[in-house]
């Protein structure tokens, strides 16, 4: 799974370079960050906590400086390898966004899958796929838009 997340991180960095080359805007930066924030969190909570406020208050910083600072933080974050614990954290955050729309059985199923991954009993794809399935079933578009949940090999093939 590390190789898939490395490939996904590289794709996101390529998308960042394309964004920067295409005359970036503040609104575009917000959109980019919104889709990638949980991937960033999986790689580095430290950078996640730095980049969020940077994006949230962009008017205080000139756009060129904002783009430079964000790009540097993004590259630093995505250069780190996600840990099992950071994946569990992200999965729990995303599951929480779906919780109210799931029935008790679905909630337990999702919690068990995340716990099983955390204990090393199942691969990361098990809770990610289940979370993606539930988010799709309930129409949770914010969760579905997260690059973190992209089924890497299939998603990467579509992006090429």
Q: Is the pLDDT of residue 151 over 80?
A: no
Q: How many Å apart are CA 80 and CA 109, to the nearest integer?
A: 30
Q: How many Å apart are CA 29 and CA 31, to the nearest integer?
A: 5
DSSP letter at 139 equals T
User: Global pTM?
Assistant: 0.90
> How many residues make up the chain in this entry?
160
Residue pLDDT, tens place only, 51-80: 999 999 768 899 999 999 999 999 999 999
Give the rounded percent of residues in the chain with a pLDDT score beyond 70: 92
What tokens were used for 84?
Answer: 């099992």
155 falls in which pLDDT band (50, 70, 90)? Answer: very low
* CB-based contact 7:152 (threshold 8 Å): yes
Q: Is the pLDDT of residue 20 over 50?
A: yes
Can you give the residue ranges of every domain in the chain?
2-78, 84-159
């Amino acid at each position: 799974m590390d190789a898939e997340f490395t490939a996904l991180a590289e794709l996101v960095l390529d998308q960042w370079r394309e964004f920067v080359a295409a005359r970036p805007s503040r609104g575009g930066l917000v959109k980019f960050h919104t889709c990638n924030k949980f991937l960033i969190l999986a790689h580095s909570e430290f950078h996640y906590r730095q980049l969020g406020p940077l994006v949230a208050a962009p008017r205080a910083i000139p756009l060129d400086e904002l783009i430079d600072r964000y790009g540097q933080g993004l590259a630093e974050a995505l250069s780190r390898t996600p840990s099992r614990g950071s994946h569990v954290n992200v999965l729990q955050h995303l599951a929480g966004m779906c919780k109210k729309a799931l029935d008790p059985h679905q909630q337990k199923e999702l919690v068990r899958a995340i716990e099983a991954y955390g204990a090393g009993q199942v691969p990361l794809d098990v809770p990610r796929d289940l979370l993606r399935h539930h988010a799709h079933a309930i129409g949770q578009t914010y969760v579905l838009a997260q690059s973190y949940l992209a089924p890497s090999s299939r998603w990467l093939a579509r992006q090429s």
